[in-house]
A and B are shown apart, each in its own frame.
Chain A
């Protein structure tokens, strides 16, 4: 049989199927790996005031960041991302626990998936429509004579936090849902039989068993929040600019590309640290 040889070849390593994936790999190398390396390189080059760079080594990009007092922006971004990830986890754990054991499981899951897929700008807009200076609540307050001029509900850090939680909550619920769903139901029954209260089951049985899910959920919120641009741009105030806004500002308005590249490089390093701390710090993620 001619295919006997091929069969063994396929089942052993080095089957020749690698070539199918080569275009995929080459594409990602050209349009992802190389551009990221280019950014890292740009952060060490000299600024061309026309926009763009001059091929000469310089640390001015990084110096500019410190001169512009971006340290506050970095700290603010990390704190806001951390708090929004923590709030998302606090809400997502009970919600996903409830959904897994609910009779309406599939329907409730769909209710979480719809916002997951809904365009984020629309979801941000919904809050501007309600809380904005000319928004629904201000209109109600003005019409009823409770206030004389609009109340500024948004354009501050609290609004950024609220809308980050609103945007990323589904990202936290879905991984927690899968990790709770994987648990054996008998685990809880056994704990109850052995005399645990519901509270004890939640804290001593459920939480330790879904540690990995909690970590993934945290990372799924924390990392996108670190790089968020639209949320602080649309609902943030003067004192809620985050890393994403500063990258855009340096690229488009200030036209200081080495500085933009330097901020991006620091964001990249923050991300890598977060991944190492949260994912590899816990158990090693299964790679199939």
Chain B
């Protein structure tokens, strides 16, 4: 049955609702005036962003350091978790499922507050390292689920076949399980990276004074009000997001 006109109109309106505000921000990043009235095309806000905004780039660098390191660790641990969940005993699977599902469900702010209190109680100084720990913690359930979904797309009989053909456990792992999981592992890495780069709330609580990330920087800039430099940052981040979304579009369903 073809959906009626009403659903079409609602869909078009929803898409406009998603994109109009973003398009306005992108357009005004090229405005020559500081205030939001169009006075002519200019690249001066990008120029300002690239030449005299060192503090913003330092926060970007922090975000990249945490993003890359936390997603590597998150993917390695998540993949091992997924393999154990795929092949482990039923009881073990239930423990894994519960431990994965709870951090997945509860609001981010609880993860942030609990880690802040935890680190402070143990006298751990807040730094990029504490952000790294927090990011691995909240992204691991995602990486585990993505790799697991990928493994579930395959019949377990390929592993039985590997054993029947004389493979040992470690050979089966290296030559069969990991190659099969590879597309999931790659997707999981990009997903963890994106989650890390985007995170605000959890980072807000576990960041120290000298470990500001890009989202924290944007937050404090937005708080001061509108500025075309934020429009320029938004436009660049949006380009990155579009690229990621196209690359990851098949895998988004794995987490829903």
**Shortest Cβ distance from residue A206 to the other chain B in the assembled complex, whole angstroms:** 9
Binary B-proximity of A81-103 (CB < 8 A = 1, otherwise 0): 00000000001001101110110
Q: Which residues of chain A come closer than 8 Å to B237, judged between CB atoms?
A: 118-119, 122
Q: Is the CB of B218 within 8 A of A122?
A: yes
In the assembled complex, the Cα of A180 lies from the Cα of B186 at a distance in Å of 28
Does the CB pair B109–A135 fall under 8 Å? no
Chain A neighbourhood of B159, CB < 8 A: 10
Interface size, A (range): 35 or more
Main secondary structure of the interface of A (DSSP, over half): helix
Task: Please determine whether B36 and A129 come into contact, CB atoms closer than 8 angstroms.
Answer: yes
Find chain B residues with CB under 8 A from A198 CB.
Answer: 1, 4
Interface pair A25/B96, CB less than 8 Å apart: yes
Which B residues from 219 to 254 make CB contacts under 8 A with A? 219, 222-223, 225-226, 230-231, 233-234, 237-238, 241-242, 244-246, 248-249, 252-253
Check B88 for interface membership: any CB of A closer than 8 A. yes
A185 — which chain B residues lie within 8 A by C-beta?
A: 1
Most buried by A among B22, B140, B163: B163
Please tell me if the beta carbons of B222 and A125 are within 8 angstroms of each other in the complex: yes
Contact (Cβ within 8 A) B99 A29: yes
Note all chain B residues with C-beta closer than 8 A to A175. 256
> Is A35's CB under 8 angstroms from B114's CB?
yes
Chain A proximity of B20: nearest CB distance (Å):
8
List chain B residues, Cβ under 8 A from A11. Answer: 156, 160
Contact call A13/B225, Cβ cutoff below 8 A? no
Identify which of A59-67, A68-76, A219-227 touches chain B. A219-227
Contact A32 B103 (CB under 8 A): yes
B130-170 interface mask toward A, CB cutoff 8 Å, 1 = contact, 0 = none?
A: 00011011001100100010001000100110011011110
- 13 further A-B pairs in the complex, CB-CB below 8 A; given A170-B18, A198-B1: A3-B167, A7-B164, A17-B83, A20-B81, A101-B3, A125-B230, A129-B231, A192-B1, A223-B106, A227-B108, A230-B201, A247-B113, A271-B110
Q: Which residues from chain A sit less than 8 Å from chain B, CB to CB?
A: 1-4, 6-7, 10-11, 13-25, 27-29, 31-36, 38-39, 42, 52, 91, 94-95, 97-99, 101-102, 106, 108-130, 132, 134-136, 139-140, 143, 166, 169-170, 173-175, 178, 185, 188-189, 191-192, 198, 201, 216, 219-220, 223-224, 226-230, 234, 244, 247-248, 251, 257, 260-261, 264, 267-268, 271, 275, 287-288
